[in-house]
Structure 1
Amino acid sequence: HVSVAMETARQKAVAMVPPRRQWIDSAKKTAFVLGTSLIVFVAARNTATDLLQRFWGASGNYWQQAFDWTYAAFGSDDRCAWLFGTLAITGVVYWAFNLFLMLLDVFNWPQFLLKYKVQPDKNAPIDKRMLAKAVATVLFNEFVVAPPFMLLMFALYSWRGVAFSGELPTFQWVILEIAVFSLTEEVFFYYSHRMLHHPRIYRYVHKIHHEWTAPIGIISLYAHPIEHVLSNLLPPCMGPLIMGSHLGTIWLWFCLALVSTSISHCGYHFPLLPSPEAHDFHHLKFVNNFGVLGILDSLHGTDRLFRASRAYQRHFLLLSLVPVRELYPDGDKAMKKEKLNETDAGKAGLEDSSGGED
C-alpha cells in the first residue's frame, strides 16, 4: 500500500509538469528510447551472432544465404521480390502472431494467460461477427489496398537507390537504421493519426478502427482503406525511403513494426513484452496517446489524461509473473479521480483533435 501511494503521488507530480518543460521531457524520452533500442539490438546481435556461429558457422554468411535464397524464390526480380516477397514475409509474421492471440480471445486458451488481460470485463466472450468483419477487412487491406501502394513505393525506392539484392548491410548499420525508422514512423504516424481524429474526418474514416474499445491484436490492421494507407503503410515505409535501405533491412523492420503494433492492440499486458496500456487507453477513451513511442504525445501534451490515469501507473515493462492489475488494482477513489480528470480534460478542450465516439 505504501509503494502504491508513493507511485500515485509521483503520477500527480508528473501530471502537473508545466508546458515549458515538455520539450525537455520529450528530449529525455527520445534519448531513453534510442538508448534502450541500441542496447537491446546490440545485445540481441551479440547473442544471435554467438548462436549462429555455433550452428551455421559465420552468422553473416547464413543471413546472406537466407536472403539470397528468398530473393531467388521470387524469380530474382526486384519488383517481384519487393511486392510478393514483402506480402509473403509480413503476412506470415502477422498471422502467426495474431492466430496465437486469437486462441486466447476466441477459445480462452491457454487459460493461465487470461489474467494478463488489460480489460478483463470486455470481449468475454468475443463478438464473432465483429471478429469475422475484422478478419475480412484486414485481408482486404493486405491483398487489395496494399499492392497498389507498394508498387508506388517500388518506384520511389528505385529512384532513391534502395538495394533490392546484393550484400546485406552490417549489423551496426542495421541498428542505426532501425533507430531512424522508429523515429520517422513516430512522426508520420502521430500527425496522420491526429488528423484522422479531426471531427470532420473521424466519423468517415477512423471510426471503423475505434469500433473496438477493447482492442485485440488483429485489429491493428482493421481500418478504412484511407487510414490503412495513411497510418499503417506510409509511416513505416518512409524511414527506408529516407535512408535508401537494403530490402533485407526493410523486411526486418516491417516484421518488427507489425509485431509491435499487434502487441499494442493485443489487449494483454504480458511479462517481458512492451506495455500495451497506452494504446489500449486510447481505444478505451478515444483521446490521448496518438503516437507510437510517446515522444510527440509528451511534446504536444496529448498524454495528460493518460498520465493522470491508473493505466499510466501500469504502463511499464512487466518483469514478474504478477499481473499489473494486481500490482495496481482499480480502486473507487482512483476511478473517481480518473473520471473527474477525463471530464475536466474534455471541458478544457485538451483534445481538440479528437473526433469522439460519435
Structure 2
Amino acid sequence: MFTSLPRSNATDFSVFNELLPTGDMLGASPGTGYFDVLNQVSRDHNDLAYLERLWASWYLFIQNDTYATGILTFVLHEVFYFGRCIPFMILDMIPYFQKYKIQAQKMPTLKEQWNCAMLVLVSHFTAELPQIWFFHPVATYFGIEYRTPFPSVWKITLQICIFFVIEDTWHYWGHRALHYGPLYKNIHKQHHTYSAPFGLAAEYASPIETAILGFGVVGSPVVLLMITGDLHLFTMLVWMMLRLFQAIDAHKAGLEASKRRRDKKLAKIRKNKQQ
C-alpha cells in the first residue's frame, strides 16, 4: 500500500508516483490528461475510495506536489467562497425574503456587490494566495501527511473542532485589536463599509487585515501539527471550507439570533463612526 512510502517534501515530483506499479510519471507524459491518470489509478487501486483516487490522480497529473496543493487549495477557496455567496445574492433580490433582514431598507446594489467582489479578489490574490502557496512547503517541513488513504471521520472531526477553538481565539483578539483607534482607521475601517452586511462582504477587508486574521485559519492547523505531528492535508481543506461557510453565514444577516445581533452591532458601529 501507499502508506509504506517514506516521507518527502516533493517539490519537483510527486510522491504519488509509487502508486503505479511501474513507477511511471504518468502526469509528465505528453498528451496524458487528468482522466487518463484517474483511470489507471482506479484500475490499479480499487481499494481506495473514489475521492481518494481523485486526490491521488491530481497529484500524479500535476507532478509537483507544491503546485498541486497550491492550485487545489486556491481553486477550492474561490469556488466555495463565491459559490456560497451567490445563493444569498439571489435571495436578496427576492422581495419575499427581505422581511427577514434587520436592515431591509439597506439592500446592497449590484454596483456595490460588484465593487465588493473586485476588492475581495484583490485580497485573495495579494494576501491569501501567498499564505496558501507557501503552506505546502511549511507544512511538509513539520511532517504533514497528504497521501492516501485519508484519516478517519472521527479524527477529522476532532481536529477541526480544535481548529475552531484556536482560530476563534486568534480571531477574537485580532479583531478586537483592530478596533483600536489607529488600527481601525488605517486597517479595519474598510471592513465596516457596509453597515447592512451581506455574505460577499465576509472577506471585504484590506490585504493587511486579511493576512492578519487569515493567519489564524492557516496557522491553527500548523500549530496542531507542530504539537502532535499528526495532520492530513485533506483535513486542512475540509476545515478551510467550513470556516469559509461560517464567515459568510455570519455576514448574511439571516434568521439566526447570532446573525441578527451582528447586524445590529454593525449598524451601531457605522452610526457611531458617523457621529
Query: If the length of structure 2 is used for normalisation, what is the TM-score?
Result: 0.74
Partner of 1:208: 190
Counterpart Cα distance in 2 of 1:203 and 1:84: 34
Unpaired runs of at least 5, structure 1: 1-57, 288-341, 343-354
> 2:213 matched to 1:227?
no
Q: Counterparts of 1:172-211 in structure 2 under 5 Å?
A: 172-211=154-193
Of residues 222, 229, 233 in structure 2, which corresponds to 1:241? 222
1:251 maps to which of 230, 237, 240: 237
Q: Is the 8 A contact 1:164 1:247 kept in 2?
A: yes
Offset, 1:119: 2.1
Q: Which moved more, 1:145-154 or 1:246-255?
A: 145-154
Q: Does 1:96 align with 2:83?
A: yes
1:112 to 80, 93, 96: 96
Contact 2:253 2:262 in 1 (8 A): no
* Displacement of 1:65: 2.5
Alpha-carbon distance in structure 1 between the residues aligned to 2:47 and 2:253: 36
Q: CA deviation at 1:210?
A: 0.3
- The corresponding residue for 1:86 is 73
Question: SS at 1:197's partner residue?
Answer: coil
Structure 1 residues 59 and 137: alpha-carbon distance in aligned structure 2, compared to 1, 3 A threshold: farther
Counterpart in 1 of 2:126? 144
The 3-state SS of whatever aligns with 2:128 is helix
Higher alpha-carbon deviation: 248-257 or 127-136: 127-136
Tell me which amino acid in the other structure corresponds to 2:66.
R
Q: 1:357 to 1:66 in 2, by over 3 A?
A: farther
Deviates further, 274-283 or 129-138: 274-283
Name the structure 2 match of 1:26.
Answer: none
Of stretches 199-208 and 241-250 in structure 1, the one that deviates more from structure 2 is 241-250
Residue identity opposite 1:259 in structure 2? F
Shift of 1:121: 2.2
Query: After superposition, what is the alpha-carbon deviation per residue over 1:186-242, rounded to whole angstroms, capped at 9, x for unaligned?
Result: 1110111111110011011110110111100001011001001111x2111122112
Between the two proteins, the alignment pairs up a number of residues equal to 225
Contact 2:116 2:200 in 1 (8 A): yes
**Identity percentage over the alignment?**
24
5+ residue gaps, structure 2: 1-45, 226-230
* Deviation, structure 1 residue 153: 3.0
Structure 1 residues 59 and 131: alpha-carbon distance in aligned structure 2, compared to 1, 3 A threshold: farther
Q: Which amino acid aligns with 1:94?
A: Y
Tell me the CA shift for residue 142 of structure 1. Answer: 1.5
Letter in 1 for 2:249: I
1:62 to 34, 50, 58: 50
Query: How far apart, CA to CA, are the structure 2 residues paired with 1:182 and 1:144?
Result: 25
Q: Tell me the SS of whatever aligns to 1:286.
A: helix
8 Å Cα contact 1:181/1:238 also seen in 2:
no
Q: Distance in 2 between matches of 1:265 and 1:223?
A: 13
- Aligned-residue offset at 1:141: 1.2
Deviation string, structure 1 residues 264-299 (Cα, Å, up to 9, x no partner)? 0012226xxx84224323322239xxxxxxxxxxxx
Summarize the Cα distance change of 1:170–1:76 in structure 2 as closer, same or farther, 3 Å threshold. Answer: farther
- Asked whether the 8 Å contact 1:220–1:261 carries over to 2, the reply is yes
1:124-145 CA-to-partner distances (Å, cap 9, x unmatched) read xx23433222111011111232
Q: CA RMSD in A?
A: 2.6
Q: Distance in 1 between matches of 2:262 and 2:145?
A: 34
Moved more, 149-158 or 128-137: 149-158
Q: Is the 8 A contact 2:120 2:204 kept in 1?
A: yes
**Alpha-carbon distance in structure 1 between the residues aligned to 2:128 and 2:233:** 17
Q: Which residue of 2 aligns with 1:132?
A: 114
